[in-house]
Homo-oligomer: A and B are copies of this chain.
């Protein structure tokens, strides 16, 4: 029998899941539409049935646990709490509900923490005890590992760097506050910055031909690659803001590496190079040269499922 963990990544639209062995190999994966299950009971039943079906067809696999990545997940309590992008309101005891269907160890955490554990078990942080993963998508998620442990904090919700304040009174954020890190340092933050540069600068730019509603971080990165002056300026400004959060985080936990992951990170060296420069220029002298800024070591397409599964492998390895 080969031991596998079910990794489940719950998103607002889709839920992906797969059976993952100890080395990070996905034996089989599948998905369902989260939005088709407005009742949490139905959702849990559907997932449990789907996992059992996958296992039934593969009698050599033995399920040893279920790891779940989900928005607003509370690791301590095994719950999803007040998630704005999910239909299930209030406090959902997801781990308990799932355990009634499949009685194995079940752990749940948010997407960015799952990404961090995935990085530690399967990715670029295999030998690291202190590192941070920033997921740069529509928002900015963060998973922080200190002394080999994910930081959950007193509430279970620690590691919310995306909503730390970088510009007091700055850009309006979806959380109702202003100047949050993710309003600057994320794929959507880059789009907002490009619009700012279009307003401030006079240079010609291909971005002037794209309706703001259709502007994406990918289009801006492409334009920057072609030396478009507005796109280049937007990229540099974004790198500076991203670096700000990184060098302040370094002062907090002195990590060995910071991994950048997701949409904005796909800009590659065009982003990493200025981020490294601004971090080195501005970090406290005692930390200069001590922190690597790296792309994730996990392929983006599998990252969420692998990260969720790693949550269990991490517990079993202890």
Residue on B nearest A257 in the bound complex, by CB: B154
Interface size band for A: 35 or more
Residues of B within 8 A of A254 (CB): 151-160
Which chain A residues numbered 22 to 56 have a C-beta less than 8 Å away from chain B?
Answer: none
- A163 partner, pick from B159, B251, B253, beta carbons under 8 A: B251
Residue of B nearest to A160 (CB): B251
**A249 on the interface (CB 8 Å rule)?**
yes
Q: Kindly list chain B residues whose C-beta atoms are within 8 Å of the C-beta of A155.
A: 254, 286-287, 290
User: Quick check: is A176 within 8 A (CB to CB) of the other chain?
Assistant: yes
Known: A151-B146, A290-B154. A251 touches B285 (CB 8 A): no
Copy tally for this chain in the complex stands at: 2
* Nearest chain B CB to A278 CB, angstrom units: 11
Q: Is A232 an interface residue (CB 8 A)?
A: no
Residues 255 to 312 of chain A near chain B (Cβ within 8 Å): 255-256, 282, 284-287, 290-291
Q: How far is the CA of A165 from the CA of B72 in the complex (A)?
A: 28
Q: Which residues of B contact A117 (CB under 8 A)?
A: none
Q: Which residues of B contact A176 (CB under 8 A)?
A: 285
Residues on B with beta carbons closer than 8 Å to the beta carbon of A165:
244, 247-248, 282
Not counting A154-B290, A157-B286, a sample of 5 additional A-B residue pairs whose C-beta atoms are within 8 angstroms of each other reads A130-B154, A154-B291, A160-B251, A160-B252, A165-B244
